[in-house]
Amino acid sequence: MSTIVNEVRKGFYLDSVALMRLSAEIAAMGGIEEAVLMIGTPSNLEIMQNAGVLNATGDTAGPNDLVIALRADGKGSANRALAHANETLDGKSKKKGGQSAAKARTLKGGLTLHPDANLALVSTPGTYASREARAALDAGLNVMIFSDNVSLDSETKLKRQARASNLLVMGPDCGTAYINQVPLAFANSLSHVTSAANTAAIAASGTGLQEFAVLLSKLGGNLKHGIGVGGRDLSDAVGAISTLQAIDLLSEDDSIEQIVLISKPPGPDTAKLVFDKLAQCGKKVIACVFGYEESLVPDSITYAANLRDTAELAADSKLEEPDYDSIADSLVIDIDADRQYVCGLFTGGTLCTETQLILQQAGINTSSNAAAGSSTPLTDSTDAHRIVDLGADEYTVGRPHPMMEPLVRTDALAQALNNASTAVIILDVVLGYGAHEDPTAAIVTTLNNGPQSRPVVIAYVCGTESDPQRLNKQQSALSDAGAIVCDSNCGAAELSAAIIQRIKNR
Amino acid sequence: MSASDLLQKGPRVIGVGLPGFVDDLNTQGIDASALDWRPPASKNTAALEAAEALSAGDVAGQISSANAQAIERMHTADPVLCDVQLAADVIEGLGEHKVLHAGPPIEWDHMCGPMQGAVAGAIVLEGWAKNLEAAFKLANSGKITFEPNHHHNAVGPMTGIVTQSMPLMVVENRTFGNKSYCAINEGLGKVMRFGGNDDSVLERLRWLESTMGPLLADTLLACEGVDLKNIISRGLSMGDEMHQRNVACTSLIMRELAPTMARVGDPDTASEVLAFIAGNDQFFLNVAMAMGKAIMDPVRDIGGSSIVTAMCRNGTEFGIRVSGCGDQWFTAPVEMPRGLYFPGFTEKDANPDMGDSTIVETIGLGGFAMAASPAVAGFVGAGTAADAAAFTNQMAEITWSRNPEWTIPALDFDGVPTGIDICKVMNSGITPTINTGIAHREPGIGQVGAGVVNAPLGCFEQACLSLHERLNAS
C-alpha cells in the first residue's frame, strides 16, 4: 500500500530546473515511488494531482509556495526522503540568502545596482517572460528571451517595441547567442582566432548555431556574433523583425566580413524581405535554410545544404572526417538480418532536423515527432525509421530539457537497445555552458547495462575542448562504451544512412 | 543602450530567471548579475491582468504623468509643527459620543481587544460613562459613533483613539495650506494606544490635556513652528527611521523647543514637560505621523495616479488608499508581525498589526528607511547592516522616486524610496515592509515586542482592479 506525503514550504521559491533535478534525486531513493518538488501554481498542482502524488496538504499551496510531494512504500521511506529534500533545500536556500542581501527582485532594482547593463537574459517560465521582456525594453535594455511558450502576439509586440527604440529582441525560445564573442545561455566555448575573417551568424535555431559555431571553430574560423532571433522570427506572422534588424546592424559593422543565416524555411512574404536585404548588405552571405530549394535563394547568396557545408564555406576549408562508407562496410557484416531500422534519439532540435534531411537524401523514409522534409508523423510502431526530438514540447512539459537533464533520454535509449528490429541508434550530445555537466554519463550507464546483442550506436558530441565538459573526455567515454563517435552531426547521419543502405541492399 | 552598443561593447547582462546562465558568464569574467527573480505572488488573475494592463501603452503614460504630479507634491511639501489644539476645536463634528480610531472603518463588534479597551478608557475619560464596565456597555449599545482618523485629517498610533477633549499636535503643510493632527505620544508601558485604560492611563491623558498640551502650544506659537523636513533629514543621518526608532529626532526637536519653552512656561511646568519628552524616545513618532498625513493629503485625488496615499490598520484589517481612487479604502485582513518579543512574551500574546503609524512608510520612512537605521534592522531580526540596506533597496523596487532631501549616508546618500506604486507592488509581488511595535492582544498590557509586518497583497489587488476600472471608464 502506497503512502502519499505532502509538505508545503510557504514563500519558498527555487527555479524549476533545480527542483526537477532534486525531484529526480529523491525519486531515486529507496522506497520512493514518485517524488515531485514543484512551485504550487495552479497548473503545477494539476500536474501533481494527475501524477497521483497530491493530497489535501499539497493542494493548499499557492504560486509562491513549494510543494514536496512523495509517494512511497511506507512512512519510513517517505520521512527519509522528506528529510533529505529539506536538507538540500535548506542548504541551497542558505546560500541564496547569503547572496540575496545584494540581489534585486525586479529589473528596476537590478538596474539600480548595475546601471551599465545593456542586455536582459530572460529565462523565467514562459508565462512571465513577455512581461519581464517588456519591462527590460521599457528600461532601455536589449533582451534575449531564452524562455519558450511566449505567444506569437506577444513576440510580435515586443519586437515592434524594440525596433522602435533601436533595441534588439533575441528569441523567444532563443537557446543560444554569441555577442562580441561572449557565449550566452546554451553556447559552446570558442577559441578566438584573430587572424581569421570575422563571421557573424543570424540564427533562428539554438543547436543549429551551436553546431555551426563548433564546426567553424574546429575549421579555424572566428565567430564574432551569433544573433539568435527565435524559431518564429522568419514566419510571416512576425515578419523577421529581429532578423532584418540584425542584418542592418551587421552590415553597418565594418569588422564583419561575412554573414551566415541559419533558419527553417521563411514565410513566403518574409523570404523576399530577408533575401533582398541580405543580397544588398554588402557582405558575403551564406544561407543554410533547412528544407529550402536552392533555386529560391538569390544568386548573390551562397546556398548551404547543411551546417557542415555552412561552416566549410565560411571557413573556406574542409572538415577532415573518416571514410564513413568503409566504416559502414565493416559494421554491416555483424548486423543481424532482422535489424533494419534507424532510431535517432536527439536532444538538439536542429540536429534532429538535419539528420532527417540527410537520411531522406539517401532514400530512407523517416518518421519523426518533429517532422522535417518528407518525414511522416511518428507512430508507436518500432518497425520504422524513427528520428525523435526529445526536446519537443510533448517530452518537456513538467520536465527539464534533455540537454540539461540527460536522464530524460535513458528510457528511450534502453528500449531502443533492446529492440530486435533496430539496426542503428543515433545519439547527439550537446556540450557547452548551460548543458549538463556530464551528459554522456547517463548514456554510458545505459549502454553498459544494455543487452550483449544490440544495435550499432553512433554518436556525435557537439562541443569544444574548452567547454566545461571537455570534448575529448566525453568522446572517449562514449567510445569506451562501444559507441562510434563521429566528427559532425552530418557525419553521424551519413554513416547511419550508409549502414541502412547496405542493409537494404543485402 | 542601443543594439549597436550591445554588439560593439559586448553584453553586460542582467539575468532574469535561471541563475546558472549568469554564473557561467561570471566564470568567464563577463559582467553579469542575476536577479532574485520570483513569479508574481498574487493568485488573483484578474488583478494581475489589471496591473499588467496598467503598465503598458497609453494608460501607462497617463499613470506616469499623474504619478509625476503626485511625487512633485510629495517632494515640495513643507510640513511645520505649528500648534497644539483640542480635538473638538479642530475636528469638525467631533463631540459627544463620537470616537475616532486607527485604520480603515470598523465597528465595535469587529474591534480587537486592545482597541475596545482603549475605546472604553476614552469613554470614561470623556465622562460618558462612570466606569469601564458601563463604558463597555455603552460602546456595545450602538450609541457611540466610530470613524477613522483618516476621515478627519488625523492619524493615531496603534489603537489611535481620539475623542473631543484630547490635545492634538497640528502640522501644517505650508506649500498647500492643509493641516493634519495627531495626539501627543503617551510614552511606553500602560498607555491607551496599546489598549490601556486604568486610572494611571487616564490620569496621564488628563495631564497632557491640562498641562503639556497648552505649554507645547504656547511654545510652538512663540517660535513660529518647527520645520520638520530638516529634522527628518538630520535624523536619518543619526540613525533614526522614524517608526521604530525616533531617539535622534526626539532629541533634535527638544533642541528646537527647549529654549522657547523655558521662556514661555513657568520653570516647574517647563521642566516637567521637557522631562516627559526626554523620557520617551518615541515622542517624535506622533509628530512624524502628523507630518506624514500632512504630506500625503494633498496627493489624495490625482486622476490616474497609482501612488498609495495612506496605509493603516485597525487591528483587524489593513487598509490602503490610492491617489487615483480618491477616498476609497482597499482592505484585507491584517497580518501578524514577525519580530522579537520582550522577555516573558511570545507570539501567542501578540495582537495583529495595528495603527495609523504606517503613514510614515507611505512617505518613505520606517521600513523604507531601514538602511538609515541598522540598529533597528537588528531589533526586527533583519540582522546586519547589509540586510538593512537590502530592505531599503527592495522598497525602491516598488516606489516611483527617491526623496532628494531625505538621504541615507550608508547608501551613498541615496534618498529614501518614495511613492509606493500599486502596479509595481503587483508586478513584483513585493509588498511594503513596515516596522512596527507589537501590542499584547489583551487590553491594557501594552507593547510586548517589535518587528516587521508586510502590507497584505489583497489591498493592492483590489486597488489595481479599481484603478483599471476607473481608467477604462474615463
Task: Please write the tens of the pLDDT for every residue from B428-444.
Answer: 999 999 999 888 998 87
C-alpha cell belonging to residue B264: 514661555
Strand partners of residue B181: B154, B170
Residue A136 placed within a domain: no
pLDDT surpassing 70 at residue B381: no
- Residue B37 and residue A433: Cβ atoms within 8 Å? no
Q: Is B164 helix (H, G, I), strand (E, B) or coil?
A: coil
CATH 3.90.1700.10, chain B: domain bounds: 45-75+299-473
Q: Per the domain annotation, does A116 fall within a domain?
A: no
Q: Hey, what amino acid is at A59?
A: D
Do B10 and A112 lie within an 8 Å CB cutoff? no
| Bridge partners (DSSP) listed for residue B402 | B417
Task: Name chain A contacts of B424, Cβ cutoff 8 Å.
Answer: 106, 108
**A385 lies in some domain:** yes
Q: Are residues A216 and A68 in the same domain?
A: no
The C-alpha cell of A443 is what? 548514456
* A293 located within any domain: yes
Detail the DSSP E strand segments found in B260-368: 308-314, 317-322, 330-333, 338-341, 354-355
**How far apart are alpha carbons A206 and A230 in whole angstroms?**
8
Of A121, A128, A252, the CB nearest to B15: A121
Q: Which three three-digit cell numbers place residue B84? A: 497644539
Domain co-membership, A206 together with A274 = yes
Q: Which of B187, B253, B252, B174 has its CA nearest to residue B219?
A: B253
C-alpha cell at A291: 528544407
The segments of chain A whose pLDDT lies below 70 read: 15-18, 21, 91-102
User: How many residues does this entry show for chain B?
Assistant: 474
Contact of B58 with B473, CB cutoff 8 Å: no
Looking at the structure, tell me whether residues A191 and A310 fall in a common domain: yes
Q: Which of B355, B364, B377, B332 is nearest to B77 (CA)?
A: B364
Helix axes of B283-296 and B228-236: crossing angle, nearest 10 degrees:
120
| CA dist., res. B226 & res. B235, Å (int) | 14
Closest-CA residue to A471 (of A483, A490, A485, A484)? A485
- DSSP summary character for residue B212: I
**Domain's final residue, options A100, A127, A156:** A100
From the list B4, B19, B28, the residue facing A249 with the nearest CB is B4
Q: Are residues A302 and A328 in the same domain?
A: no
Q: Are residues A280 and A249 in the same domain?
A: yes
What is the average per-residue pLDDT within B88-98? Answer: 96
Contact A155, A229 (CB under 8 A): no
What's the pLDDT score for residue A16?
Answer: 62
Distance from the B211 Cα atom to the nearest Cα atom in chain A, whole angstroms: 48
CB neighbours of B467 closer than 8 A, spacing ≥ 6?
B50, B54, B304, B306, B322, B324, B325, B422
Nearest-by-Cβ selection for A134 from B2, B9, B56: B56
Tell whether B16 lies on the interface with A, counting CB pairs under 8 A.
Answer: yes
Lookup: cell for A131 = 512581461
Q: How far apart are CA A402 and CA A156, in angstroms?
A: 28
The whole-number pLDDT of residue A253 equals 93
Q: Answer yes or no: do B16 and A111 touch at CB < 8 A.
A: no
Which residue, B196, B149, B441, is CA-closest to B316?
B441
Residues of B in contact with A135 (CB under 8 A): 55, 427
> B45-75+299-473 falls under which CATH superfamily?
v583 domain like (3.90.1700.10)
User: Burial, A397: exposed, middle or buried (Cβ in 10 Å; 0-12, 13-18, 19+)?
Assistant: exposed
Query: Is A52 contained in some domain?
Result: yes
The CATH number of residue A201's host domain is: 3.40.50.261
Do residues B7 and A225 touch, judged by C-beta distance below 8 A?
yes
Q: Is residue A107 less than 8 Å (CB to CB) from chain B?
A: yes
Q: How many CB atoms lie within 10 A of CB A127?
A: 15
Q: Are A255 and A224 in contact (CB under 8 A)?
A: yes
Does residue A413 contact residue A419 with C-beta atoms inside 8 Å?
Answer: no
**pLDDT digit string (tens) for B303-336?**
999 999 999 999 999 999 999 999 999 999 999 8
pLDDT, one tens digit per residue, over B349-364 is 999 999 999 999 999 9
Which of A295, A315, A335 delimits the end of a domain?
Answer: A315
A-to-B residue pairs, Cβ atoms closer than 8 angstroms: 192
List the Cα angle B199/B204/B209 in 5-degree steps: 125
Cβ–Cβ contact A179 with B under 8 A: yes
Q: Does residue A345 share a domain with residue A385?
A: yes
Nearest to B17 among A100, A111, A122 (CB): A122
Instruction: Tell me, yes or no, whether A300 and A340 share the same domain.
Output: no
The confidence score (pLDDT) of residue A469 equals: 97
Distance from CA of A173 to the nearest CA of B (A): 14
- Interface with chain B: mutation pick from A108, A121, A165, A199, highest number of B CBs within 10 Å: A121
Domain B79-293: which CATH class? alpha beta
pLDDT of residue B379: 60
Q: What is the pLDDT of residue B263?
A: 97
Tell me whether residues A166 and B4 touch, CB distance under 8 A.
yes
The domain total for chain A is: 3
| pLDDT confidence of residue A94 | 39
Residue A488 C-alpha, separation from nearest chain B C-alpha, in angstroms = 25
Q: Are residues A255 and A335 in the same domain?
A: no
Nearest residue of B to residue A135, measured between CA atoms:
B55
Contact A64 B429 (CB under 8 A): yes
Q: What is the largest CA-CA distance in chain A?
A: 72
Q: Is A258 left (phi over 0), alpha (psi -120 to 50) or beta?
A: beta
pTM of structure: 0.78
The pLDDT assigned to B249 comes to: 98
Label residues A99-113 b or e (16+ Cβ within 10 Å = b).
eebebbbbbbbbbee
Least Cα distance to B463 among B299, B330, B356, B305 occurs for: B330
For residue B447, give the nearest of B162, B246, B157, B229 by alpha carbon. B157
Condensed to tens digits (0 to 9), the pLDDT of residues B109-151 reads: 999 999 999 999 999 999 999 999 999 999 999 999 999 999 9
What is the number of alpha carbons within 13 Å of residue A24 lying toward its C-beta? 14
Chain B residues near residue A433 by CB distance under 8 angstroms: 21, 24
Q: Are residues A179 and A79 in the same domain?
A: no
Q: Do B3 and A122 touch (CB under 8 A)?
A: no
CB within 8 Å of A406: residues ≥ 6 apart:
A347, A429, A436, A439, A440, A441, A442, A443
pLDDT at residue B344 is higher than 80: no
DSSP string for residues in A52-65: T---TTGGG--TTS
Residue A160 has phi, psi (to 5 degrees) of: -65, -45
Measure CB to CB from residue A168 to each of B3, B16, B30 and give the nearest one.
B3
Note the pLDDT of residue A98.
Answer: 38
- Of A298, A315, A332, the last residue of a domain is A315
Cβ neighbours around A323 below 10 Å, total: 10
CA distance A424 to A486: 14
Pick from A123, A148, A166, A253 the residue to mutate for testing the B interface (most B CBs within 10 Å).
A123
Query: Do A351 and A499 have their domain in common?
Result: yes
Cβ contact, residue pair B397, A105, below 8 Å: yes
| Among A residues 245-304, those touching chain B with beta carbons less than 8 Å apart | 245, 249-250, 252-253
Q: Do B16 and A123 contact (CB within 8 A), yes or no? A: yes
Predicted pLDDT at A12: 80
End-to-end C-alpha distance for chain B, whole angstroms: 36
A103 in B contact zone (CB under 8 Å):
yes
Phi, psi of A375 (to 5 degrees): -60, 140
The pLDDT > 70 percentage for chain B reads 98
Domain membership of residue A361 as a residue range: 324-504
A329 and A432 in a single domain? The answer is yes
User: Cβ separation of A13 and B16 shorter than 8 Å?
Assistant: no
Residue A17: its pLDDT value, please? 57
Residues of A in Cβ contact (< 8 Å) with B387: 101
Count CB atoms within 10 A of the CB of residue B62.
17
Question: Which part of chain B is CATH 3.90.1710.10?
Answer: 79-293
Bridge partners of A202?
A: A227, A261
- Ramachandran region, residue A460 (left: φ > 0; alpha: ψ -120 to 50; beta: rest): beta
In the stretch 15-44 of chain A, residues with CB closer than 8 A to chain B read 15, 17, 39, 41
Interchain proximity A120–B14, CB inside 8 Å: yes
Give the integer Cα–Cα distance in Å for A103 and B393.
9
Place of cell 563521429: A486
Contacts of A168 (CB under 8 A, 6+ apart): A142, A143, A162, A227, A242, A245, A246, A249, B3, B6
The pLDDT of B362-379, averaged and rounded, is: 88
Q: What is the pLDDT of residue B39?
A: 86
From start to end of A73-205, where are the E strands?
Answer: 119-122, 142-145, 169-170, 176-179, 182-185, 198-203
A93 in B contact zone (CB under 8 Å): no
d(CA A399, CA A24): 10
Separation of alpha carbons B456 and B473, rounded Å: 27
Q: Is the peptide bond before A172 cis (omega within 30 degrees of 0)?
A: yes
Please tell me whether residues A341 and A471 are part of one structural domain.
yes
Sequence-distant (6+) residues with CB within 8 A of B259 are none
Burial of B344 (0-12, 13-18, 19+ CB in 10 A): exposed
